[in-house]
Amino acid sequence: MTLHREGTTIILTSLAICLILGLLNGLYIFPISSIVGAFIFALLSVMLVLVVQFFRIPRRQNTYQENEITCPADGKVVVIEETTETEYFKDKRIQVSIFMSPLNVHANYYPIKGTLPFVKYHPGKFLVAWHPKSSTDNERTTIVVKNEDGKEILIRQIAGAVARRICYYGQEKDKVEQAGELGFIKFGSRVDLFLPLDAKIDVALGQKVQAKLSRIGFLS
């Protein structure tokens, strides 16, 4: 396991704050009440561990079948439905949404290999990730991957009430690899996939999935 580069500043800042508070606790509170002092030490330790685990990146390797759609994020499948995608396709698509809790790995990955014909960042609100308007009103990015057969998948990173920064690394016309690094959502939220109507879906509502390992389905 490694730590993601997006966490460097936050982890170092959190470490410095915990060390300062721990020192003050040891000097002024622990001598008065060892129970309260021990509780504060334990609380600071837990907080630091939680911050570090937000940015963990487990080592994962997998092989992929032809036309396989790889899961782009860790989390739970909360939406599988036919809907109208209004930003890029402007037609009917199958939407698969994955909710990322604060305890999940927060890195995101490309579900297929191809080129990026469309990349756009949208500033916005920070509604809770399951709010009906979060996919259109919240801070988000829209990234489209087109494979060599001309099939396109739209990936949308969506910020939530806790997540306050979306990171994405691809630019239009870039070539990307399947399971290559797409970006990072700090402290969780949601990733939506918009797939062709004839795509075969292999996940179910409520299913827990893992980026790079779980299969969303296949492009026909």
How confident is the model over 16-30, as a mean pLDDT? 92
Round to whole Å and give the CA distance between 136 and 140: 8
- pLDDT tens by residue, 72-131: 999 999 999 999 999 999 999 999 999 998 888 889 999 999 999 999 999 866 565 555
Burial (CB count within 10 angstroms: exposed 0-12, middle 13-18, buried 19+), residue 100? buried
- pLDDT tens by residue, 170-185: 999 999 999 999 999 8
**Domain ranges for the chain:** 2-57, 68-218
Four-point Cα dihedral 49, 109, 111, 75, nearest 10? 20
Whether residue 214 is predicted with pLDDT greater than 90 in this model: the reply is yes
Give yes or no for a contact between 78 and 177, defined as CB atoms under 8 angstroms apart. no
| Residue 1: count of CB within 10 angstroms of its CB | 8
Round to whole Å and give the CA distance between 111 and 81: 18
Which position among 14, 97, 134, 189 bears the catalytic label?
A: 189
Round to whole Å and give the CA distance between 143 and 63: 23
Round to whole Å and give the CA distance between 191 and 110: 11
134 assigned to active site: no
| Residue 168: count of CB within 10 angstroms of its CB | 19
In one letter, which amino acid is 117?
P
Q: For residue 27, report the phi and psi dihedrals to the nearest 5 degrees.
A: -80, -40
Round to whole Å and give the CA distance between 111 and 109: 6
Q: Tell me the pTM.
A: 0.85
| Category of 181 on φ-ψ map: left (φ > 0), alpha (ψ -120 to 50) or beta | beta
What pLDDT shows up at residue 49?
Answer: 87
In one letter, which amino acid is 87?
E
Of 146, 145, 151, nearest to 108 by C-alpha is 145
Round to whole Å and give the CA distance between 143 and 183: 11
C-alpha distances (whole Å) from 78 to each of 103, 154, 204 are 16, 17, 9
- Assign domain 68-218 to its CATH superfamily: Glucose Permease (Domain IIA) (2.70.70.10)
